[in-house]
């Protein structure tokens, strides 16, 4: 059992808290957020500071985790990840016990795997990714750093997804498709090849 500091206090933080609680691994959880959020609570956990307090909080917290969501621009998450690394926090990998994760999959640090997700054999997922609830990541998929695979996505076998990519809820990606970095795929899309046209959130 050890301590976990979550960076961010919004809706995604609630999902991350629920995953963290379900693992039973954390003796203490707290959050940092905006100045006006300090002193409030999220699901009963205290918001104890802002980004400016990360230096002194390192003495109390072993691990830090990005609890900010990602939809379009990802520069804030990337900036915060660099800050956390520079302060020598440890990044955990948070995996819901209600997810199915193959022992033959590789998941890097800072990534969350939500409730009901399925990660199949040969999958490789990079740093600080969000694999949301009930997403299916099929065999031999490669997902680069800082990607968000939203709720209920179906990513079929041997797909490659470049870094900083957002794939909206309920989207289906055909097997073997290569999606370049910094892509935005709107909810309910069917990605049968690349490039796709007129993709807007």
Is residue 97 within 8 A of residue 25, CB to CB? The reply is no
Whether the predicted pLDDT of 1 surpasses 90: no
Percent of the chain whose pLDDT exceeds 70: 95
Give the domain-ending residue among 71, 86, 101: 86
For 171-187, write each residue's pLDDT tens digit.
Answer: 999 999 999 999 999 99
> Do 196 and 129 share a domain, yes or no?
yes
Give the domain-ending residue among 86, 106, 123: 86
> Do 106 and 200 share a domain, yes or no?
yes
Task: For residues 3-8, give the mean pLDDT.
Answer: 96
Three-state DSSP string of the chain = CEEEEEECCCHHHHHHHHHHHHHCCEEEEEEECCHHHCCCEECCEEEEECHHHHHHHCCCCCEEEECCCCCCCCHHHHHHHHHHHHCCCECCCEECCCCEECCCCEECCCCEECCCCEECCCCEECCCCEECCCCEECCCCEECCCCEECCCCEECCCCEECCCCEECCCCEECCCCEECCCCEECCCCEECCCCCCCCCC
Pairing of strands 154-155, 136-137: parallel
> Do 198 and 105 share a domain, yes or no?
yes
> Do 82 and 100 share a domain, yes or no?
no
For 82-130, write each residue's pLDDT tens digit.
Answer: 999 999 999 999 999 999 999 999 999 999 999 999 999 999 999 999 9
Number of domains within the chain: 2
Whether the predicted pLDDT of 21 surpasses 50: yes
Q: What is the pLDDT of residue 76?
A: 87
Domain carrying residue 169 = 93-201
> Do 100 and 192 share a domain, yes or no?
yes
Whether the predicted pLDDT of 70 surpasses 80: no
Whether the predicted pLDDT of 38 surpasses 50: yes
Residue 72 confidence class, pLDDT cut points 50, 70, 90: low
> Do 124 and 73 share a domain, yes or no?
no
Report the alpha-carbon distance of residue 137 to residue 141 in Å, rounded. 7
Report the alpha-carbon distance of residue 57 to residue 24 in Å, rounded. 22
> Do 143 and 188 share a domain, yes or no?
yes
Q: What is the pLDDT of residue 193?
A: 85
> Do 62 and 131 share a domain, yes or no?
no
- Across the chain, mean pLDDT equals 93
> Do 171 and 101 share a domain, yes or no?
yes
Residue 201 confidence class, pLDDT cut points 50, 70, 90: very low
Task: For residues 31-43, give the mean pLDDT.
Answer: 95
Whether the predicted pLDDT of 4 surpasses 70: yes
Q: What is the CATH number of the domain that holds 38?
A: 3.40.50.20
Residue 198 confidence class, pLDDT cut points 50, 70, 90: very low
Report the alpha-carbon distance of residue 190 to residue 115 in Å, rounded. 23
Whether the predicted pLDDT of 197 surpasses 90: no
Give the domain-ending residue among 38, 56, 86: 86
Q: What is the CATH number of the domain that holds 183?
A: 2.160.10.10
> Do 97 and 76 share a domain, yes or no?
no
> Do 184 and 108 share a domain, yes or no?
yes
> Do 101 and 198 share a domain, yes or no?
yes
């Amino acid at each position: 059992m050890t301590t976990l500091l979550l960076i961010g206090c919004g809706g995604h933080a609630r999902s991350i808290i629920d995953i963290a609680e379900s693992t039973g691994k954390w003796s203490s959880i707290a959050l940092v957020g905006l100045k006006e959020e300090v002193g409030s609570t999220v699901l009963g956990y205290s918001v104890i500071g802002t980004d400016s307090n990360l230096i002194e909080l390192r003495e109390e917290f072993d691990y830090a985790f990005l609890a900010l969501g990602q939809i379009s621009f990802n520069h804030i998450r990337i900036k915060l990840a660099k800050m956390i690394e520079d302060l020598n926090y440890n990044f955990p990998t948070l995996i819901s016990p209600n997810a199915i994760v193959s022992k033959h999959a590789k998941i890097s640090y800072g990534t969350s795997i939500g409730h009901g997700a399925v990660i199949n054999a040969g999958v490789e997922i990079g740093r600080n990714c969000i694999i949301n609830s009930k997403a299916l990541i099929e065999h031999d998929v490669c997902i680069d750093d800082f990607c968000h695979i939203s709720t209920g996505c179906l990513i079929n076998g041997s797909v490659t997804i470049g870094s900083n990519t957002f794939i909206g809820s309920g989207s289906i990606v055909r097997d073997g498709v290569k999606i370049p970095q910094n892509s935005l795929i709107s909810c309910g899309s069917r990605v049968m090849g690349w490039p796709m046209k007129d993709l807007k959130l």
